[in-house]
Amino acid sequence: MKIINKITLGLCTAALLLVGCNESATPAKTEVVKPTISAETLSLRKAPVFKEEVKPHGTKYSENYAGSGKKIQRAFQDAPPMIPHDVTGMIPIKINDNQCTGCHMPEVAKDMGATPIPPSHFTNFRPQSSYALKGENTSSEELAHISIKKQNHLVGARFNCTQCHAPQDTGQLAVPNNFEPDYIDPDGANKSRWNGDRMLEGLKTTEAGK
């Protein structure tokens, strides 16, 4: 009987030691509390993103008539100039109804005090290849079958002025704009350097610029 009691006591002691070792080997799991992100911190406007409670400022364009507006500096080197005057009644621009040309065509721009349309707008950079014209492929490494020619009218890709030029909103931005342009040319804020021979630089054509 004493032997059975000793065996039982020994087994109980071993079981307790085994449980104790297992508990010490496996550390207790600690619950990670994730920080709460509020809806107000998800937006630059510091307002709930699930409720439209913020009223943006009304868009405010210049009311100056054409010819009286002050030129706006270009946002970056060679950027399309912004429109500094009122465009009421001038848009939408159509291929046969473009009031911009009345002041900005090169032959009248100086007298009108307007910025003349540059030569790039009179240059067709999308000519048809000989394959499209004759149904045969005469292409070569030098692209001799393509010619980039200047025209005396706005090319089809350039007649819609507002696809690149737009009025400038003069209202207050909801988020401050800290962008500072780095112009390549000293007069890059007022003039484009993409003119003259620069337009055809690197293009290998037999009649480029003619």
Helix then strand then coil, in percent of the chain rounded to 5, is: 25, 5, 70
CB 98 within 8 A of CB 121: no
Total domains present in the chain: 1
Evaluate whether residue 204 is within a structural domain. Answer: yes
Q: Is there a contact between 116 and 81 (Cβ–Cβ < 8 Å)?
A: no
Domain-located, residue 77: yes
Contact, 142 vs 203, CB < 8 A? no
Q: Distance between CA 49 and CA 200 in Å, rounded? A: 49
Domain that holds residue 89: 61-210
175: in domain: yes
What is residue 39's DSSP assignment?
A: G
Q: Is residue 28 part of a domain?
A: no
Return the sign of the alpha-carbon dihedral for residues 182, 184, 190, 193: negative
On whether residue 15 sits in a domain, the answer given is no
Residue 208 falls inside a structural domain: yes
Cα–Cα distance between 126 and 139 in angstroms, integer?
Answer: 15
- Print pLDDT tens along the chain (210 aa): 455 555 555 556 655 555 555 544 555 667 777 777 776 666 666 666 666 666 666 778 888 888 886 888 998 999 999 999 999 999 999 988 999 999 999 999 999 989 899 988 998 877 665 555 555 555 544 455 566 778 888 988 899 999 999 998 877 776 778 888 889 889 999 888 887 777 777 666 545 444
Whether residue 191 lies inside any domain: the answer is yes
pLDDT at 68: 81
Q: Of 203, 11, 189, 5, which is closest to residue 123 (Cα–Cα)?
A: 203
CATH of the domain at 145: 1.10.1130.10
Entry pTM:
0.63
- Residue 209 domain-assigned (yes or no): yes
The verdict on whether omega for the bond into residue 92 sits within 30 degrees of 0, i.e. cis, is yes
- 48 to each of 34, 36, 53, 106, 173, how far by Cα in Å? 20, 14, 8, 52, 19
Cβ-Cβ contacts under 8 Å for 37 (sequence gap 6 or more)? none
Instruction: Give the H or E element holding residue 14.
Output: helix 2-25
Distance (Å, whole) CA 164 – CA 80: 6
Residue 168: the pLDDT is: 86
